[in-house]
Structure 1
Amino acid sequence: MKAVIPPRNHRTEKRQCDWFVYKERHLIECFFGKIKHFRRIFVRFEKLQRNFMGFLRFVSALIWLR
């Protein structure tokens, strides 16, 4: 695992940041934030894995179609 957080502006010694990986990470974090708006996923009412994954795919499709 590698940290992909960009350095702050006031640092005297700048460190390298892979901006492509940072952008991908940001998309994933935003996706998890959107999923949490669906209480059924957040609380995990579905106890069986196939039911949970089915509803997760349904929610993913709803988010993608927005």
Structure 2
Amino acid sequence: MEERGGIVVIPSRITTKHPRKTDCHTYKERHLVENLFLKLKNNRRFATRYEKKALYFHAVVCLACILI
């Protein structure tokens, strides 16, 4: 991933011989975003994406975020 210009965010396991360095702040932000998507997927309209137009889907996302 690093060869392609990506940043490693997930920390390596404790038992690895060569642990990689991770940024705890970036990892916390990533975790918050993942949890938001998990909560958003509880709403059926978001998970199945009934709205095919981007504007309507954006409205559903905004409404779901307000409800969370």
Unaligned runs of 5+ in 2: 1-5
1:30 aligned to 2:35? Answer: yes
Partner of 1:42: 47
TM-score when normalising by structure 2: 0.83
Amino acid at match of 1:61: I
Instruction: Work out whether 1:14 is the aligned partner of 2:52.
Output: no
TM-score (norm 1): 0.85
Q: For the residues of structure 2 that align with 1:48 and 1:13, how far apart are their CA atoms?
A: 47
Sequence identity (%): 38
Q: Distance in 2 between matches of 1:42 and 1:14?
A: 36
**Aligned-residue offset at 1:40:** 0.4
Instruction: Provide the aligned length of Structure 1 versus Structure 2.
Output: 63
What is the RMSD of the two structures over their aligned residues, measured on CA atoms?
1.1
Amino acid in the other structure paired with 2:38: G
Offset of residue 29 of structure 1: 0.6
Moved over 6 A (4+): none
